[in-house]
Amino acid sequence: MFRLLIVDDEVIIANGIKSSIDWRALGFTKVETAFNMRQAIEAFASHPFDVMICDIEMPQGTGFDLFAWVRENHPNTECIFLTCHAEFEFAKRAIQMGSLDYLLKPVLEEELKRTIETALMKIRRERDKTVKLLEHFWLEILHQEIPARADLILEQAKRLQLGYTEETLLLTVLIHLEYWDKKLDERDERILLYALRNALDELILKYFEGSHSVHLNEGTFMIILPVEGSVEDHFIQEMKGRCESYVEACNAYFYSHLSCYIGKTVPVERVASMYDMLSEFQKSQVNAADRVLLLNKQPQRECDVTLPNMRVWFEMLRRQEKTRLLDEISSHLDAWKSIDHLEAKRLQLFYQSFLQMVLQTLKEISLRAEEMMQEYLELNRAMIATRSIRDMQNWAFEVVETAISSMKALAANETIVEKIQRYIELHLDEELSRQHIADFVGFNPDYVVKLFKKEIGLSISDYILDRRLSRAKELLLKSDMTISDVALSVGYPNFSYFSTLFRKETSMTPQEFRKQQN
């Protein structure tokens, strides 16, 4: 998190300071030594330092000379002078130049440690202030409150000491929280979002000089980093690898599933448009949880995604085979999870087909489907359901539970004859004997037959024939099923027998009926 440079022309003293304190415990990830001004400037050329401990009297330039250079070139570096000179003029000059403290050799370990901790507190405060300024700057750019003009953006960047030029290229990475592994209250979610951002600094930002993160909204972050010249493939792969490690760590420790979208390098005036492209890319992906996707690696052709046979699911729902239907939904959607770059429109087609199937099922058993499913028909629910495979599965499960609960509630309020009629309607494609029907309603077959004839005016066998032929007519007119398939779907595996019954009823063969009506 922090870098320290120790500058002293006495090698033993410099190395002694380096080894005397547990710098890592204080938060330093790098501690280096230099033995003169030239070596110190060379060290700064490699990377900046947060704190510099410096002697005053040294060859090739004094500590004051070095600090003056640091102040001009690295103004955010805190300086602590450590010297054997107790003269007031030296201390006065150090304070006038803006050093944090002036310590005398030999310094006690605890005194030096306290001074370092004071420096780090000041640095953290300044960092927090800088982070807020930078975040505000980038938000103004992304929301185009600062016009997309290089001169205006570079002017603001100069005030923030970002060091951008007209040749600077910026790489953008969008990070999105897909979902949490468990239900969180507001406090826990706030804590974990804070942890996600800290992990972002630790696992990604610290490896890329000059990188910044921007908190866009709850669970969405943007990384922006400068890249001199064109981006080599190995650089993109390094970023991809860091993002993959970050996603994996957040999943393991913070109950979160993230997705990362790596953009293309653009000049400063095109960052806002690249952000818009990444946002659209993110919204179009419904299978991105725990993945890192590259904007320039989108598939050239659409992936081949097969929708389920909704007619089969229709029959499962109609017969209230909840466990089987839910297993089928899970199996189908789980198979989609292995498809890279699965687009939102595929999930939208699934949503439309599934909803149509459910509404048709409820309509056929005389339930007011639109009223019952009103909650699931709202635009907001549709948008949530189609944003990811997981959301679609949750939505589909809720719809099935609601539909079957309503169907069972209807059955509980039915008369015996209404139950018989519903049973016949649901099993027209199967063998329908009076024993099967009697077992379903739980009464003696003879009693069931007499009761049905008394209330409906038809025998059960005549009623079944009427319903089968009515269903057959409907299928002949409203579907492109073959005549043989129509016969099977209404309980007649023998095509000839079906045709004979149909002709007796309508004075036409099934083929003639379809042709005439069409």
Written as one string, the DSSP assignment of 194-224 is HHHHHHHHHHTGGGSTT-EEEEEETTEEEEE
Cβ atoms within 10 A of the Cβ of 220, count? 15
How many residues comprise the chain? 518
Six-digit token pair at 306?
């097969």
Q: Tell me if 249 sits within 8 A of 255, measured CB to CB.
A: no
Q: Tell me if 437 sits within 8 A of 424, measured CB to CB.
A: yes
Location of structure tokens 């579907």: 479
Measured over all CA atoms, what is the biggest interatomic distance in the chain, rounded to whole angstroms? Answer: 123
DSSP line for 49-111? -SEEEE-SS-TTS-HHHHHHHHHHH-TT-EEEEEES---HHHHHHHHHHT-SEEEESSPPHHH
435: which residues sit within 8 A by CB, 6+ positions away?
445
Residue 106 preceded by cis peptide, ω within 30? yes
- From CA 498, how far away is CA 429, in angstroms rounded? 12
Helices (H) and strands (E) in the chain, counts: 24, 11
- From CA 352, how far away is CA 286, in angstroms rounded? 16
Beta strands 169-180 and 266-267 are antiparallel
- From CA 244, how far away is CA 508, in angstroms rounded? 67
468: which residues sit within 8 A by CB, 6+ positions away?
428, 490, 491, 492
Rg of the chain over CA atoms, in angstroms? 37
Instruction: Print pLDDT tens along the chain (518 aa).
Output: 689 999 999 999 999 999 989 998 898 989 999 999 999 999 998 888 999 999 988 888 898 999 999 999 988 899 999 888 777 777 788 888 888 888 888 888 899 999 999 999 998 888 778 788 888 999 999 988 999 999 999 999 988 888 888 888 999 999 999 989 888 888 889 889 988 988 998 899 988 888 889 999 888 999 998 886 555 677 788 899 999 999 999 999 999 999 999 998 899 999 999 999 999 999 888 888 899 999 876 554 555 678 899 999 999 998 899 999 999 999 999 988 878 777 788 888 999 999 989 988 887 765 666 667 777 778 788 888 888 899 999 999 999 999 998 888 877 778 889 888 888 888 898 889 999 889 888 899 999 999 999 999 999 999 999 999 999 999 999 888 999 999 999 999 999 999 999 999 999 999 999 988 77
DSSP conformation class of 343:
B
